[in-house]
Amino acid sequence: MDPISILIADDHPLILAGLSALLGAMPEFRVAAQAADGAQAVELYRQHRPDVVIMDLSMPRLHGVGAIERIRAEDASASIVILTTYQGDEDVYRGLQAGAKAYLLKDAEPAQLLDCLRTVAGGKQYLPPTVANKLAERMASSQLSRRELDILAHIATGKSNKMIARSAAIEVGTVKFHVNNILAKLNVASRTEAATVAARRGLLSVF
> What is the reported pLDDT for 129?
81
> What is the reported pLDDT for 127?
86
> What is the reported pLDDT for 207?
42
What is the pLDDT tens value at each position of the chain, 207 positions in all? Answer: 799 999 999 999 999 999 999 999 999 999 999 999 999 999 999 999 999 999 999 888 999 999 999 999 999 999 999 998 866 667 777 888 889 999 998 888 999 999 999 999 999 999 888 777 766 666 645 578 889 989 999 999 999 999 999 999 999 999 999 999 998 888 889 999 998 888 877 777 644
* Identical topology for domains 4-139 and 146-205: no
CATH of 146-205, one of 3.40.50.720, 2.40.30.10, 1.10.10.10, 3.90.550.10: 1.10.10.10
List the one residue out of 71, 67, 108, 70 whose CA is nearest residue 86: 108
> What is the reported pLDDT for 94?
82
> What is the reported pLDDT for 139?
60
Distance (Å, whole) CA 11 – CA 32: 17
**pTM check: above 0.75:** no
Helix axes 89-98, 64-74, angle to 10 degrees: 20
Give me the residue spans of the domains in the chain.
4-139, 146-205
> What is the reported pLDDT for 75?
95
For the chain, what is the mean pLDDT? 89
CATH topology of domain 4-139: Rossmann fold (3.40.50)
> What is the reported pLDDT for 138?
62
